[in-house]
């Protein structure tokens, strides 16, 4: 459609160097062609032009002092993309690769993901090119305090509620929350993923990985299948990968491979999760250390090699564009029946095409990994009510939300003539709610 093409051209003209953002916009606009034809009122109200432009983009200097007394400078970002249905909500990524375009792609995806959860949360994302790896706890603390000293003026429990992402786990959230509270003298749930002793929710740590498995289970069930007896490969070995491994195992699958940015491990008899948690969560070591404890396991340099491991189900849970066309072809050749994304945009567009053409069930990140933000939404509810639910209560709500997301996405795919195309379904189902809210609120922003 001409309109969507011209919007894309404008985005490229303005931000052509932000390739990840363009990739995310392309995927969504492509899915919305029929929506634009069916709802001319959204075209007239400029919803499509407006939705690709962030409401606000904040960039700031973060200076801090390392353990040797040297001054270090990083760049901080917060992109407040869309607040049509609620306060901005989305994580903070701390990784040397973070640029404005990275944060924009993640923030854009977050709009639709948050909408799919059914909870009142707008879309935003932030982060910094700071690398927590190899830094002492004190250095991480000083960075987080400096980062929050600026960020605090832009956020608030009814304005913008950040959370974790790559490189931002419980330790970082704790330091940031402490600094926020000190500066604002305000004990509100302005960050989610907090520790359980100061307003965190049970299941938040596990939520993205668990939610991914609940979603994948729905996808499999719809085809009369399940995790039972399946061999599963999961990339990454961080928060999402660890709890996806735990839930996969609980649901009867066997996880045989995990990775980090240096390489991957293969353990035919099944990954020893307790050991991975000790190495990654407690000792913050590399995944290759695993084979020292399990000589029957193998370590291979290079993280993308993980997709050569034969499996029934693949769950990419590390980072964007980690599963390319060639890897998708290998998965198909090896008989993989389902791919569901724990990470954001881990599968390249040509790889998605290969999977879909070959009938592999494919669950896009904005639907499959929405369990993390959904549980953050539940943390916000508990903070507002000054109350906390039990593990079972939160887990049950999470399970229900993931089942609803699957249902909404597959029904929209069906309605728009491409049953099983969950990319199309998730984009449309997420978009329609936002579009209606933006339409109702007029064009003043
Ligand atoms: P963590 O920092 O806990 O773990 C990230 C994992 O991915 C690590 O094993 C890391 O390896 C690996 N990784 C990171 N960058 C690369 C890279 N460039 N190449 C290969 N491997 C890499 O992050 P999370 O588990 O929280 O996040 C993983 C993914 O899930 C991200 O895409 C994130 O946006 C997404 N996500 C996370 C949510 C959450 O609640 N945490 C919610 C929804 C989505 P190494 O240690 O070597 O860097």
**Tell me: the pLDDT tens digits for 307-334?**
999 999 999 999 999 999 999 999 999 9
Which secondary structure element, helix H or strand E, spans residue 71, and what is its range?
A: strand 71-82
Full domain range(s) for residue 70: 5-187
Indicate whether 228 and 324 sit together in one domain: yes
Centroid of ligand 1 to alpha carbon of 435 (angstroms): 30
Indicate whether 133 and 37 sit together in one domain: yes
- Report whether pLDDT(39) > 80: yes
Ligand 1 atom at shortest distance from the alpha carbon of 97: 18
Centroid of ligand 1 to alpha carbon of 48 (angstroms): 30
Task: Return the percentage of the chain with pLDDT > 70, whole number.
Answer: 100
Indicate whether 236 and 351 sit together in one domain: yes
Q: For residue 353, give every residue at least 6 positions away whose Cβ sits within 8 Å of its Cβ, in sequence order, or none.
A: 325
Please state the separation of Cα 442 from the chain's center in Å: 30
Please state, in angstroms and rounded to a whole number, the distance separating the CA atoms of residues 345 and 30.
Answer: 15
- At 192 the pLDDT is 98
Ligand 1 atom at shortest distance from the alpha carbon of 237: 9
Please state, in angstroms and rounded to a whole number, the distance separating the CA atoms of residues 62 and 77.
Answer: 10
- Report whether pLDDT(1) > 70: no
Q: Is 89 a catalytic residue?
A: no
Centroid of ligand 1 to alpha carbon of 342 (angstroms): 9
**Which residue's CA is minimally distant from atom 11 of ligand 1?**
260
Asked if 241 and 235 touch (Cβ cutoff 8 Å), the reply is yes
User: Max alpha carbon distance in the chain (Å)?
Assistant: 64
Residue 381 forms part of a structural domain: no
Task: Count how many domains the chain has.
Answer: 2
Q: 16, exposed or middle or buried, with CB in 10 Å at 0-12, 13-18, 19+?
A: exposed
The mean pLDDT of 23-48, rounded to a whole number, is 96
Which secondary structure element, helix H or strand E, spans residue 325, and what is its range?
A: helix 325-333
- List residues near ligand 1 (CB under 6 A): 164-167, 169, 208, 236-241, 260-262, 303, 317-319, 322, 342-344, 369, 372
Last residue of a domain, one of 308, 343, 363: 363
Centroid of ligand 1 to alpha carbon of 235 (angstroms): 9
pLDDT band at 2 (very low <50, low <70, confident <90, very high): confident
User: Which has the minimum average pLDDT: 15-24, 105-114, 160-169, 436-445?
Assistant: 436-445
**CA nearest neighbour of 30 among 415, 320, 349, 390:** 349
The tokens of 1 are what? 């459609």
Kindly report the CATH number assigned to the domain that includes residue 128.
3.40.50.10860
With H, G, I as helix, E, B as strand and everything else as coil, classify residue 347.
strand
Indicate whether 132 and 221 sit together in one domain: no
Q: Which residues of 275-309 are buried (b: 16+ CB within 10 A; e: fewer)?
A: bbbebbeeeeebbbbbeeeeeebebbeebbbbbbb
Indicate whether 260 and 117 sit together in one domain: no
Indicate whether 183 and 212 sit together in one domain: no
């Amino acid at each position: 459609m001409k309109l969507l093409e011209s919007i894309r051209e404008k985005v490229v003209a303005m931000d052509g160097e932000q390739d990840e953002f363009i990739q995310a916009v392309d995927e969504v606009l492509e899915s919305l062609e029929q929506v634009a034809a069916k709802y001319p009122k959204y075209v007239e109200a400029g919803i499509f032009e407006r939705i690709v432009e962030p409401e606000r983009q904040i960039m700031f200097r973060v200076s801090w002092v390392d353990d040797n007394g040297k001054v270090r400078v990083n760049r901080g970002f917060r992109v407040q993309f869309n607040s049509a249905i609620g306060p901005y909500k989305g994580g903070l990524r701390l990784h040397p690769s973070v640029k404005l375009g990275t944060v924009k792609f993640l923030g854009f995806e977050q709009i639709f993901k948050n909408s799919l959860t059914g909870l009142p949360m707008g879309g935003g994302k932030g982060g910094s090119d700071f690398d927590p790896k190899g830094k002492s706890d004190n250095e991480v603390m000083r960075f987080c305090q400096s980062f929050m000293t600026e960020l605090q003026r832009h956020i608030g429990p009814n304005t913008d509620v950040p959370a974790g992402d790559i490189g931002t786990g419980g330790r970082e959230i704790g330091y940031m929350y402490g600094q926020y509270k000190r500066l604002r003298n305000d004990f509100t749930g302005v960050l989610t993923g907090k520790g359980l002793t100061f307003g965190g929710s049970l299941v938040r740590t596990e939520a993205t990985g668990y939610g991914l498995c609940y979603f994948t289970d729905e996808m499999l069930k719809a085809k009369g299948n399940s995790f039972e007896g399946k061999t599963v490969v999961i990339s990454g070995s961080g928060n999402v990968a660890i709890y996806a491994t735990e839930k996969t195992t609980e649901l009867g699958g066997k996880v045989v491979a995990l990775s980090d940015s240096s390489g991957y491990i293969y353990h035919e008899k099944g990954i020893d999760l307790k050991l991975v948690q000790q190495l990654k969560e407690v000792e913050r070591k590399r995944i290759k250390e695993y084979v020292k404890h399990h000589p029957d396991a193998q370590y291979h340099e290079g993280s993308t090699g993980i997709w050569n491991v034969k499996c029934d189900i693949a769950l990419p849970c590390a980072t964007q564009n980690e599963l390319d066309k060639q890897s998708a072809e290998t998965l198909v050749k090896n008989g993989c029946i389902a791919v569901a994304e724990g990470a954001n945009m881990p599968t390249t567009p040509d790889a998605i095409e290969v999977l879909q053409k070959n009938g592999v069930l494919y669950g896009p990140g904005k639907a499959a990994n929405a369990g993390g933000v959904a549980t953050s939404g539940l943390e916000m509810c508990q903070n507002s009510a000054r109350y906390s639910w039990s593990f079972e209560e939160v887990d049950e709500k999470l399970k229900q939300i993931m089942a609803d997301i699957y249902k909404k996405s597959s029904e929209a795919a069906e309605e728009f003539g491409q049953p099983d195309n969950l990319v199309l379904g998730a984009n449309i189902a997420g978009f329609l709610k936002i579009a209606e809210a933006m339409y109702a609120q007029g064009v003043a922003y």
